[in-house]
Structure 1
Amino acid sequence: MQKRNGILLFMVCSSLLVTNLIHGQDSIAVSTTIDAKYLEDQFYAGIAYNFLTDLPEDGIQRNLSYNIGFGFIRDIPMNRSRNFGFGLGVGYATNSYYSNIIAEESLNDIVYQFSVSSDVLRRSKFETHGITFPFEIRWRTSNAVDYNFWRIYTGIKAEYLFSRRSISRFEGDRDDLNFSNNDISEWQYGLTLNFGYNTWNIHLYYSLNPLLENSALLNGERIRIRPLRVGVIFYIL
């Protein structure tokens, strides 16, 4: 009788152990399931310095010409390993371009001139706020479980400027200038390159069209300023 009870107890314990092992394996299998449809780098934020190329003769870049931007880019993988694809998005950016060029409204026109003395002019800039539309060709070394990887994203970015202003501030009794400047091109287009590893990535942008329209003249010559942007960009999710 005791022997039969011992065998029955052994069988029950064995059954419970096997059941626990099966459930444990199922839990491990669920926890290690790989997301075959993962996406990368869909939110971004960046800061950069704007170099002003093609400044007019006697033009000088001054102060800190900066760019700040952020937005969302839809990740569109094109291969099975999901390390090559495209990105299409929308975002916001603000830019300030400081120089010794002063813009001033005169009747129905805008007149441009260089500052006569650095002691008089505190700062002068073109300031923009816009909606950006980036398009990227994306290559990276990512996979579904490794979040530290190399990336190279190149493409083109269009930007619609909903705010375009010229701002000049002076020492002494001269009034400051601050007005909406329609000579600043409403649409900006440029080439982009973002590359790096993990968190830190270099951001490069070169404008394909001048900052100002053909109507913007200084000493009879067209102002052909083109921004070259160098900075860092961070990707999230």
Structure 2
Amino acid sequence: MKYLLYIFICLSTIATLAQDIDVPDTPVVDSLYREDQVYVGITFNLLGDKPSGFEQNGLSAGIQAGVIRDFPINKRRNKAIGIGIGMALDTYNQNLLIATQSGSETSTFAIVDESVENVTNRFTSYTLEMPLEYRWRTSTATKYSFWRIHVGMKLGYVLRFKSTYQDDVSDITSSDIPEINKFQYGPSFSFGYGAFNFQGYYGLNTLFNDDALLNTEKVGIQVMRLGLVFYFL
């Protein structure tokens, strides 16, 4: 009997102590929160301002990833400036053959004959990207699914560009193409809710400079990307 009394006294004491513990009703809120600081995107790549006879074929796609520092500019922190850095890998399947001799200052551009079978012809670019964005969102410090609109510019530097052509008898790869415009730039946007967000980019300058000629016509070519982007943190 005395053991039951002892257990009862212990349980009563624990219950009394538990009532005295100050447990907050709500979690601690980070009043200095930031949003969308890591991104991963996928795009479908389109080409415009094309020379005569130029056509895309097959799937041209890209993937991007990077980090963006979020700088809120109002007390509510739903408006911000984003400055970041990232990498983009893009492929373009098309019918423009580029041949560059090692050490040459010019390349030869030609349209692949439609009669040639089993052709693989693509451009591949690796670009260092620097996004600059104005950001608006409906987020709060405790709300993790929200509407967002980001608009701004993307500055890019092409670290590597490769043209690959293969058919049943030929295999031509050109990676040191002097006519490439290394610096790329253009407006960008993204909008959406929660995890799924649409994104777009339109290059204001051409992929090739004025020295790139198809016969006597400038090759030019402007890049447009449309796809999805996912944000974290």
Please tell me the residue identity of whatever aligns with 2:100. Answer: E
Cα separation, partners in 2 of 1:183 and 1:21, compared to 1, 3 Å: same
Aligned to 2:112: 115
> What residue in structure 2 maps to residue 104 of structure 1?
99
Give the partner amino acid of 2:177.
N
CA distance in 2, matches of 1:102, 1:69: 26
1:79 counterpart letter in structure 2: N
Pairwise CA RMSD = 2.0
Aligned to 2:223: 227
Choose from 54, 72, 97 the match for 1:77. Answer: 72
Structure 2: gaps spanning 5 or more residues: 1-11
Aligned to 1:192: 188
* 1:87-136 deviation line (CA, Å, top 9, x unaligned): 00111111112211111125542010101135346122221112111011
Q: Rate the CA distance shift 1:33–1:108 in 2: closer, same or farther, 3 A.
A: closer
The answer to whether the aligner puts 1:146 opposite 2:155 as a matched pair is: no
Q: Letter of the aligned partner of 1:210 in structure 2? A: T
Among candidates 174, 177, 182, match of residue 178 of structure 1: 174
The runs of at least 4 consecutive aligned structure 1 residues that moved more than 6 Å come to none
Tell me how far apart the structure 2 counterparts of residues 184 and 108 of structure 1 sit (CA, whole Å).
Answer: 12
- Structure 2 partner of 1:8: none
SS of the residue corresponding to residue 24 of structure 2 reads helix
* TM-score normalised by structure 2 residue count: 0.88
Counting matched residue pairs gives 221
Q: Partner letter of residue 176 of structure 1?
A: I
Which has the higher Rg, Structure 1 or Structure 2?
Answer: 1
> 2: distance between equivalents of 1:163 and 1:108?
17
State the distance in 1 between where 2:24 and 2:160 align.
55
Q: Which residue is 2:6 aligned to?
A: none
Q: Which has the higher helix share?
A: 1
With structure 1 as the length reference, what TM-score do the two structures score?
0.87
